[in-house]
Every structure is written in C-alpha cells, then in structure tokens.
Amino acid sequence: MVGRGAVMEKVRIGIVGTGMIGELHALAFAQSPLAELVVVCDSNRERARAVGEKLGVPFVYDSLEVFNFPIDAVVICLPEHLHFAATIEAIDRGKHVLVEKPLVSDLEEGKQIIQKAKEKPNLKVMVGHILRFDPRYAQARQMVVEGKIGKLSHFYARRNNRITDALRIATRSSPLMYLGVHDLDLMLWCSGSRARRVFALANFEVLKEYGVPDTILGLIEFENGILGSIELSWILPKHHPGAIDGIFEIVGTKGMIEVRVLDQGLRVISEDGYWMYPDTMHWPILHGYLGGDLHREVEAFLRCIVQNIPVPVTLEEGLEAVRLAIALEESYRKGKEVLL
Ligand SMILES: NC(=O)c1ccc[n+]([C@@H]2O[C@H](COP(=O)([O-])OP(=O)(O)OC[C@H]3O[C@@H](n4cnc5c(N)ncnc54)[C@H](O)[C@@H]3O)[C@@H](O)[C@H]2O)c1
C-alpha cells in the first residue's frame, strides 16, 4: 500500500461481484496508476473467469477467498441484499471498502455497518453514489452551496429506465433502490437536510409478477422546508434511445438549475431509423481507457486511501438515501403519508 516513507505504493484491490457494474469497476481499478487489481470474484464462474482472464488477474468464486490474496481494499459490486455481509466481513478483516449503492436494503444492517466502521476509524469506507462524481450534478450542488440560486424551494427528479434493466434485476431490486437512491442522495446532498415526511403512489401492471411497481411518484418534505418530487419508472420501451431519461431540477428564490440527461450530447441514427444516445458521461471508453463518472469515483476512493483524507460519500449519507427510499416504499404500500 501507500505511505511508507517517501515510497508511493499502489492500493491493492479485490473486487467482489463482476456483473454489469463490477466489470466496469474492475477495468477502472486495473487502469488506475494508484491501484493494483489483485483478484476478482464472482459466484458465477463464467463471469469470474471472463473478467479475470480479460484483465489478466486471478479469479475466485467465493467472496471469502479474496482475503487469501494480499489486498488493502475490497470493492463490493454484489446485488444489494448481499452488501451488508460483504461489507462487515471486509471491515472486520481490516480492509478499506468501496460499496456500490444502495448501501444496504435494510436500515438495521446499515446502522450495524456504521457501528463496525467506527471501530476501525483508520479504514476508508465509501458508498458509490456515482452522480456525486458527475460534473453536471457536482456543479449544480456547488452552485447551491455558493448561494447562486438563493434559498432552495424545491427539487424535481425524474429517473426513468428501460424495461430491459427491470427484467434483468426486478426479482432482487426495485425502482427506488436501483434508480431512486441516486436522486434521493442528490436531494439530501443539495438540501443539507434530512427528510421529515413522504407520500408516494405506485402502480403495478407490466412488472407486477415481480412484485415491483412500473412507476412511482413520490413527494418529500425536508426538515428545513424544502420540497422534493420524484418520478421513477422502470418500463420505458426496450428500444428507448437512452438508458435513462433523467431530469434533476432545483428551484430557488433567486434562480433555478436544470440537469437533463435524455441524451448526453451524442445522437446516433442507424439506417433502419433507430436513434441511440450512447453513454458519454458515466463510463465511456476514451482512447482505450474507462473515463467519466465511474473513473472519477474510483480515483476519489483511491485518493482517500493514499492521502488519508475523509471519503466524499459517507456511510451515514448512503444510509440516509436508503432510509428515504424505504419510507417512500412504505408510503405507496400503505397508501398514506410516512413520517421519518
Ligand atoms: N453506480 C451505478 O450507476 C450502478 C449501475 C448498476 C448497478 N449498480 C449497483 O451495483 C450493484 C450490482 O449491480 P449489477 O447491475 O452489477 O448486478 P449484476 O447482477 O450484473 O452483478 C452482480 C454480480 O454478483 C454476483 N454474485 C451474486 N452473489 C454472489 C456471491 N455470493 N458471491 C460472489 N458473487 C456473487 C453475480 O453472479 C453477478 O455477476 C447493485 O447494488 C446495483 O444497484 C450501480
């Protein structure tokens, strides 16, 4: 690792979960000058082998096996219900942790992780809220902090996603946990306040066999009086040109800010008439290297370890976004307002 005398050594990384996002993390860490990707793990043997062989690193199938390798940090890219056990195990074994969002799917588990991390204050434990590393959202928040739009009045967020993602993971996640926590975290980050009460409505048709809603509309009142409105839908057509139809608006007493991500400045039209809006912001490959928000998130995590500075997304913040998501879900299930 780092910091012995003047010698700068690399942070040695083990990645658990090499699915959709885990493979991208593996690539980002493998390419970072601050890191050495030591081992990857996936219980799906084909996934573990494919990513390990592609990046030329050892691969294992049991998450405990990564601790047989000389690693300083674990990156957890498992389905959300497995984040708790993997994070606790890594902290117990004295490893720094980057855990994908949502931190957990259960509040008690989140509290236990926070408690466990407090016992090891030398470890960096960060939640991967990727939009904090997106220049559009980060600049929006910076302008709020600088008072450029006055006192905040309300947020409006939309994060609608193609049905293809829903069909991939609806058996184990939900629009609030997979999509909503991104914008809920942004609202919490920008408002500087906890939420006081929420109300949500949802409908079930296309995805009802999975027990998750097609669409959720939610209202939030923050403790400092700011209001929030969120729209989440998981049933955009499979041929929708962008993966995400997203809007984040912040209205203040002296102005407003808009982030719009239906396309990302790049539109491609194929011969058969289909439009595509490829990713240019989250994890684009630039000149053979993974760039964008994920790259910045990974570098931020590594910098915290190398420079021994606080993580930019804390466990407490990760849990607050989950608390809000769970409250919104409780509200649409019970059909009434929920106090936090
Ligand atoms: N930051 C983002 O923009 C972003 C994008 C996608 C997903 N995510 C988050 O990342 C996490 C993973 O999502 P995903 O879409 O990559 O899921 P995925 O299903 O594509 O990948 C999860 C992987 O974990 C493996 N796995 C499951 N149980 C395991 C176990 N016990 N031991 C080892 N491996 C195991 C699976 O085989 C799979 O390959 C979720 O929390 C999700 O919310 C974040």
What is d(CA 167, CA 182) in angstroms, rounded to the nearest whole number? 20
Q: What pLDDT does residue 290 have?
A: 97
Distance 39 CA to ligand 1 centre (A): 16
As given in the structure block, the two tokens for residue 95 are 């490893």
User: Is the C-beta atom of 183 inside 6 A of ligand 1?
Assistant: no
Q: How far is CA 158 from CA 72, 176, 230, in A?
A: 38, 12, 6
As given in the structure block, the two tokens for residue 284 are 């684009």
- Chain segment 17-73, per-residue pLDDT in tens: 999 999 999 999 999 999 999 999 999 999 999 999 999 999 999 999 999 999 999
User: Is the C-beta atom of 178 inside 6 A of ligand 1?
Assistant: yes
Distance 94 CA to ligand 1 centre (A): 23
Q: What pLDDT does residue 1 have?
A: 57
What is d(CA 73, CA 93) in angstroms, rounded to the nearest whole number? 10
Q: Which of 23, 24, 43 to mutate to test the pocket of ligand 1 (most atoms within 8 A of CB)?
A: 43
- The residue count of the chain comes to 340
On the CB side of 102, CA atoms within 13 Å amount to 30
Distance 101 CA to ligand 1 centre (A): 10
CATH numbers and ranges of domains, the chain: 11-131+290-312 (3.40.50.720), 134-281+321-339 (3.30.360.10)
Collapsing DSSP to helix, strand or coil, 186 comes out as helix
What is d(CA 182, CA 87) in angstroms, rounded to the nearest whole number? 20
In the DSSP assignment, the letter for residue 70 is -
User: Is the C-beta atom of 79 inside 6 A of ligand 1?
Assistant: yes
User: Is the C-beta atom of 20 inside 6 A of ligand 1?
Assistant: yes
User: Is the C-beta atom of 166 inside 6 A of ligand 1?
Assistant: no
Residue 102 preceded by cis peptide, ω within 30 = yes
Tell the residue nearest (CA) to atom 15 of ligand 1: 20
**C-beta of residue 166 within 8 angstroms of C-beta of residue 312:** no
Distance 283 CA to ligand 1 centre (A): 16
Rounded to 10 deg, the angle between the 20-31 and 292-307 helix axes is: 60
User: Is the C-beta atom of 42 inside 6 A of ligand 1?
Assistant: yes
Q: Judging by DSSP bridges, how do beta strands 255-260 and 268-269 pair with one another?
A: unpaired
Q: Which of 51, 64, 78, 134 to mutate to test the pocket of ligand 1 (most atoms within 8 A of CB)?
A: 78
**C-beta of residue 123 within 8 angstroms of C-beta of residue 95:** yes
> Is the model's pTM score more than 0.85?
yes
Atom of ligand 1 nearest to the CA of 17: 24
User: Is the C-beta atom of 13 inside 6 A of ligand 1?
Assistant: no
Collapsing DSSP to helix, strand or coil, 230 comes out as strand
As given in the structure block, the two tokens for residue 289 are 């290297």
Give me the residues of the chain with pLDDT under 70, please: 1-8
Q: What pLDDT does residue 7 have?
A: 54
Residues in CB range of 285: below 8 A, 6 or more apart:
291
As given in the structure block, the two tokens for residue 99 are 């855990």
Atom of ligand 1 nearest to the CA of 282: 3
User: Is the C-beta atom of 99 inside 6 A of ligand 1?
Assistant: no
Q: What pLDDT does residue 82 have?
A: 98
In the DSSP assignment, the letter for residue 10 is P
CB atoms within 10 A of CB 315: 24
**C-beta of residue 215 within 8 angstroms of C-beta of residue 202:** yes
- Chain segment 236-273, per-residue pLDDT in tens: 999 899 889 999 999 999 999 999 998 999 999 989 88
Tell the residue nearest (CA) to atom 5 of ligand 1: 21
Q: What pLDDT does residue 3 have?
A: 47
User: Is the C-beta atom of 101 inside 6 A of ligand 1?
Assistant: yes
User: Is the C-beta atom of 17 inside 6 A of ligand 1?
Assistant: yes
Distance 63 CA to ligand 1 centre (A): 13
Distance 22 CA to ligand 1 centre (A): 6
Distance 271 CA to ligand 1 centre (A): 34
Collapsing DSSP to helix, strand or coil, 258 comes out as strand
